[in-house]
Amino acid sequence: MARTWFPPGPEGRPQSSNGPQFPNPIPQLREPAALSGDISMRETPDMSQEIDRQLRIDSTSTDDTEDSLASDTDSEADEHLPKSERGLPISKLPTGLCYDPRMRYHAEVAATSAENVHPEDPRRIYYIFKELCEAGLVDDKDHPPMVEQPLHRIDAREVTEKEALLVHSPQQFDFVRKTASLTDEQLIDLSEHPEQDSIYFNQLSFFSGKLSAGAAIETCKAVLSRKVKNAIAVIRPPGHHAEPEKPMGFCLFNNVCIASKVCQQHPPIGSECNGCQKAFYNDPNILYISIHVHMNGMFYPSGPEGDMFHCGAGQGLGK
């Protein structure tokens, strides 16, 4: 079917024989009137020079000239100063390591299995030392070092009774010493006694405990005498929970407190936990800062002593 085209009507719409093709007319956009003149920014005034003039601090005073950090005199003086090396200085001293396998003699007497093994297990320090050796950080016969400066070995020794009594009471020291002469049955009963707080003994616990405390002393001495720049003591039994009057929390003797007392004439040594807090609560010469978990007294060893309000007494009161 052929279609017939009709010219647009007066309003610019196509027409048909029956009238407009679209009953609702579409509004037409009118072209804007021609803009006269140049609409570019060539006539916009350049304010950069004026702003620069306002921001520039021009001063001819003698004081300002002398205080200027960019003066020619200062620049000439800086040229004669030696340039400082960037970064922190690196000590040429090695890092120390104290480890003695005899500290693994302290173990549970009662038979254990994978389900009830005590968390303070002799294998703990064995695996720490093994990892250091396998990483090539220790001059070990089975694992030659892979670093230019391996860890410097620090020999452990047994703590003396005199050194231990700097922190612990004679009764506490004798209590641990007597465990060396008990039978296995007596040691099991003692470890399971309600008064013993997370602690166990065997006939070599006293020896290992003395070795651990002595190792802490020798590690601290090595740092303070500048034989090493810093050190790690892979030792057990641990010590930070042991209090002056009793062992507790896996700990027989508080090795860090004993080492601090022995080295007290040197710069302070840092540690944290309830045993250290009680040992130095009245001591004005030992700075004790606790970062131990408190949880409103619900975390081990529990109680209010670990809150922010227990900060020493007498001459040891924190400021």
Here the CATH number for the domain that contains residue 140 is 3.40.800.20
Q: Which structure tokens are listed for 43? A: 């006539």
Axis crossing angle, helix 205-224 with helix 255-262, rounded to the nearest 10: 40
**Phi and psi dihedrals of 60, rounded to 5?**
-110, 10
Q: Name the residue range of residue 173's domain.
A: 95-268
Which residue out of 143, 168, 241, 266 is catalytically annotated?
241
Residue 132 lies in a domain: yes
- Highest-scoring range by mean pLDDT, 35-39, 75-79, 150-154: 150-154
Residue 143 lies in a domain: yes
- Share above pLDDT 70 across residues of the chain, in percent, rounded to a whole number: 57
Residue 216 lies in a domain: yes
Q: State how many domains the chain has.
A: 1
Residue 196 lies in a domain: yes
Residue 194 lies in a domain: yes
241 is catalytic: yes
Cis peptide before 284 (omega within 30 of 0): no
Which pLDDT value is given to residue 38? 52
Residue 297 lies in a domain: no
Q: Which of 100, 117, 118 is nearest to 234 (CA)?
A: 100
Residue 315 lies in a domain: no
Please check the confidence at residue 90 and state whether its pLDDT lies above 50. yes
> For residues 248 and 199, what is the distance between their CA atoms, to the nearest angstrom?
6
Per residue in 250-259, pLDDT (tens digit) is 899 999 999 9
Ranking 23-37, 152-166, 168-182, 275-289 by mean pLDDT, the lowest is: 23-37
pTM of the model: 0.59
> For residues 235 and 163, what is the distance between their CA atoms, to the nearest angstrom?
18
- Give 91 or 271, the one with higher predicted confidence: 91
Which pLDDT value is given to residue 192? 86
Q: Which of the four pLDDT bands, split at 50, 70 and 90, describes residue 268?
A: very low
For the chain, helix, strand, coil in percent to 5 are: 35, 5, 60
Q: Are strands 95-98 and 152-154 parallel, antiparallel or unpaired?
A: parallel
Using CB atoms within 10 Å of the CB of residue 4, give its burial: 0 to 12 exposed, 13 to 18 middle, 19+ buried: exposed
Residue 47 lies in a domain: no
